[in-house]
Every structure is written in C-alpha cells, then in structure tokens.
Amino acid sequence: MSFSVASFFHPYSKFLHGAAYNLHQNLEGLGAVSSSFTERDEAGKVIASYWSPDQAMVITLGFLVMLALLLIPLLSAAAYTVGKKRGLFCFFALLILPGVLNCLGLFPIINYLPTRYAINGVGKLGSEVGLIPLLMLCAITGWGVMVLLYDNLNLTERFRQIYDHFWFPLALVAAVFFVADNGANEDTALLKGATVNVQDASGYLLSQIRRYDDYCKTNGLDDLRSCQWSRDSQWTFTHIKEGEAGYFIEFAPDDSRGFYAANRRTVSDDDVYAIRKEIAEYNQRLCPVKYFSSDISRSSPLSSTCEYVPYHYCSARPDGPPGIVDEGIGSHTVALASECIIPGLPPPNHT
C-alpha cells in the first residue's frame, strides 16, 4: 500500500499514455504524423536517421493531457446540471476512484499499449485495449457537451431529433471506416504475399546466375557481356531477396532494362539484346530443346543444371522483340530463366 502522489496519478497517466500511443498509430496510418526523425550537425549534414514512436507520440500525449484538463470543468458542469450537488459529488467520487484504488493496491494492471507498432502503418489501429481510452474520451466529451447544450440553452424537442439524425450518419461513417480498414489489411496481406514471391523468385534466379558466373570463369568467357552482367547483377538480386517490400518498391529497377543494367546507370538496347541472346545460347548449349514442328518440342531431361522453373516465378511473357527467345520458355527446362523471371519483377506501381 502506497499513498504517494505518483501512485495516485499512475492510472491516469497510463490511461492517457495508452490513448496517445494508439491515436498516434491511427494518425501515422493516415499520414498526418510520422515517427521518423533526422539529426543534422551544425553544417546541416544528416548524421543520423531513426524511428522512435515513443519520442513522436509525446506531442499527441500533450494534446490529450490538455483535453483531459479541460474535461474536468466541462464534466463537472454537466454533472451539476444533471444532479446538482449530488451529481457533482458522484462525478468527483468516480474521478478519484482509480487513484484511490491504485494507492490501496486494488486497481488492476491494464496494458493499453499495442504489442506491435507499425511504422507508416496503413490499416493498423493499435491494440483493442488501447482503443478503450480513446472511445471513453470521445464518449464523455460528447456527453458533457450535449448535456450542457440541451439543458442550459433550453433547446426544444426538435433539437433532440436533429441530434438523433446526426448520429445515424456517423454509424454509416464508422461502417465505411471499418470496411476501408479491412480493405487496407487485405491490401497489406496481398503486398506481403507478392513480396515473398518476388524475394523467392529473386533468390531462385540468383542461384542460376551464380552458376552462370562460374560457367563463364571456367570456360574463359569473362569478356562476354552476359558474363559481366552475371557478376554485376548479383548485388541487385541479393538485396531484393533479402530486402523488405519498402526496399523493393523504392530501389528495385523500374523495368527489365534496369535489371540488365545491373550496377550501371544506363544500358543500351543493343547491350540488352546481346546479353539476352548470349543467355539464350547458353541455355540451348546446356539444355537444348529439340523442335519436331512448330507445335511439338522436347526439353532436355531434368538435372541439377536443367530445371523446370516454378510457374509462379515464371508466369510473365518474355520481353520483345519476338525471335530473341522462345515465348514458351516456361514450359522447357532451362539453365538460366532470366527471360521469364525478370519481366515479372519490376514493381507494379513503377511500370
């Protein structure tokens, strides 16, 4: 049992802290606030960049503390309007009850903070328990304002009807909000699935590129443009394989040409065609496809070199122009499946 000032105010500080954390999560999802911070030296040069929800939500907490202090006289007036001195006494009894119970060791331990905080968290609402303080603050604020307006301004029955009609559209707004939130969560799940597929496809292609790099070194073909590409492109595919969705969307090449440029800024069409033709010759040399007619062909047998590429990695059609590679490459065994994997890698919002 501890009757200290800190012990008395602990339930209220936890209540507002949890409300601020969850409100900040909502506002960050809307793009109204950010948990990103950048530190600069005296010359203006960036020396540090980091994320800190704890630091960012201090401003939100400050606004909620100000609201709570304003609510005390507002609710006191509303309670007096409803029950005169008895109403005022009941209000202050309820107000100090959490602090008194905490001093007596009887107030439950409630964790209002979310277990996870999503930076730029679209579709994230914080924790279910953490939303309770926000809902309570909204409810008691609305109750206090409406009691004072209705009882002290002698408003008529017509005002009450208008008030009721005002709340009905809010229910529809709430429904739209939760549907939109559900849609945002679905979009997030789809993005996560697409990111995993891109990472897996990049890792699959990376292993084939490394084998081609070894092939070039073993056969003294380092001067071939495709062999130079196989060395330079490993950095790009490694980072896509290991990176998150944000990295892929921001830094992955915008189109197939960017993947063939590797670590160079630009690449000509002739260079791209040369790389692709050399890779096609490599595939035909190691995993030849025999054509008996325009509709009938036979692939090389499966081996550690010749592979059937999983369809979800190789669902895109090869880039043009026609004639560089067989458009049915996805149905043949190949040693290097860049022609059907690379066209499916550029982020959709870039193309």
The tens digit of pLDDT for each residue in 292-340 reads 776 777 889 989 889 998 888 887 888 888 777 777 788 889 999 998 8
Residue 162 inside a domain? The answer is no
Q: How many CB atoms lie within 10 A of CB 168?
A: 9
Is the model more confident about 159 or about 11?
11
Question: The pTM is what?
Answer: 0.50
Regarding whether 216 and 148 lie in a shared domain, the answer is: no
Given the structure tokens 């630009």, which residue do they identify?
266
Residue 298 tokens read as 């036979």
pLDDT at 39 over 70: yes
Regarding whether 197 and 61 lie in a shared domain, the answer is: no
pLDDT band at 251 (very low <50, low <70, confident <90, very high): low
Regarding whether 343 and 209 lie in a shared domain, the answer is: yes
Measured distance CA(337)–CA(315) in Å, rounded? 11
**pLDDT reported for residue 210:** 94
The C-alpha angle 306, 309, 313, rounded to 5 degrees, equals: 150
**pLDDT reported for residue 166:** 67
Regarding whether 213 and 258 lie in a shared domain, the answer is: yes
Residue 181 inside a domain? The answer is no
Measured distance CA(257)–CA(263) in Å, rounded? 12
Measured distance CA(225)–CA(271) in Å, rounded? 7
Cα-based torsion angle of the residue sequence 331, 334, 340, 341 in order, rounded to the nearest 10 degrees:
130
Phi, psi of 106 (to 5 degrees): -105, -10
Residue 160 inside a domain? The answer is no
Is the model more confident about 340 or about 193?
340
Regarding whether 254 and 139 lie in a shared domain, the answer is: no
Regarding whether 202 and 343 lie in a shared domain, the answer is: yes
**pLDDT reported for residue 121:** 56
Write down which residue in 127, 155, 183 finishes a domain.
155
**pLDDT reported for residue 350:** 46
User: Looking at the chain, how many residues does it have?
Assistant: 351
Measured distance CA(343)–CA(253) in Å, rounded? 11
Write down which residue in 155, 181, 202 finishes a domain.
155
What's the number of CA atoms in the CB half-sphere (13 Å) around residue 131?
7
Given the structure tokens 């969850």, which residue do they identify?
22
Residue percentage of the chain with pLDDT more than 90: 25
pLDDT band at 351 (very low <50, low <70, confident <90, very high): very low
Name every residue whose Cβ is closer than 8 Å to that of residue 7 and which is 6 or more positions away in sequence.
99, 102, 103
pLDDT at 182 over 70: no
**pLDDT reported for residue 171:** 63
Across 207-211, 232-236, 246-250, 296-300, the highest mean pLDDT is recorded for 207-211
Strand 333-334 relative to strand 36-40: parallel, antiparallel, unpaired? unpaired
Residue 281 inside a domain? The answer is yes
pLDDT (average), residues 148-173:
69
Q: Do 38 and 128 contact (CB within 8 A), yes or no? A: no
Number of folded domains that form the chain: 2
**pLDDT reported for residue 11:** 92
Sign of CA dihedral 258, 262, 266, 272: negative
Regarding whether 143 and 205 lie in a shared domain, the answer is: no
Regarding whether 145 and 224 lie in a shared domain, the answer is: no
Residue 169 inside a domain? The answer is no
pLDDT band at 207 (very low <50, low <70, confident <90, very high): very high
Regarding whether 323 and 252 lie in a shared domain, the answer is: yes
Lowest mean pLDDT among 101-105, 125-129, 172-176: 172-176
**pLDDT reported for residue 65:** 93
Residue 100 tokens read as 């008194």
Lowest mean pLDDT among 109-113, 118-122, 339-343: 118-122
Average pLDDT score, the chain: 81
Is the model more confident about 306 or about 193?
306
How do residues 74-96 score in pLDDT, each as one tens digit? 999 999 988 889 999 999 999 99
How do residues 53-65 score in pLDDT, each as one tens digit? 778 888 889 999 9
**pLDDT reported for residue 76:** 94
Regarding whether 138 and 32 lie in a shared domain, the answer is: yes
Residue 178 inside a domain? The answer is no
pLDDT at 160 over 90: no
Regarding whether 65 and 139 lie in a shared domain, the answer is: yes
Residue 174 inside a domain? The answer is no
Phi, psi of 36 (to 5 degrees): -95, 135
Residue 315 inside a domain? The answer is yes
pLDDT at 20 over 60: yes
Write down which residue in 107, 138, 155 finishes a domain.
155
pLDDT at 41 over 80: no
Regarding whether 209 and 344 lie in a shared domain, the answer is: yes
Is the model more confident about 64 or about 131?
64
pLDDT at 51 over 70: yes
**pLDDT reported for residue 35:** 78
**pLDDT reported for residue 336:** 92
Q: Which residues pair with 290 in a beta bridge?
A: 298
Name every residue whose Cβ is closer than 8 Å to that of residue 32 and which is 6 or more positions away in sequence.
none
Structural domain boundaries enclosing 298: 192-350
Measured distance CA(335)–CA(284) in Å, rounded? 9
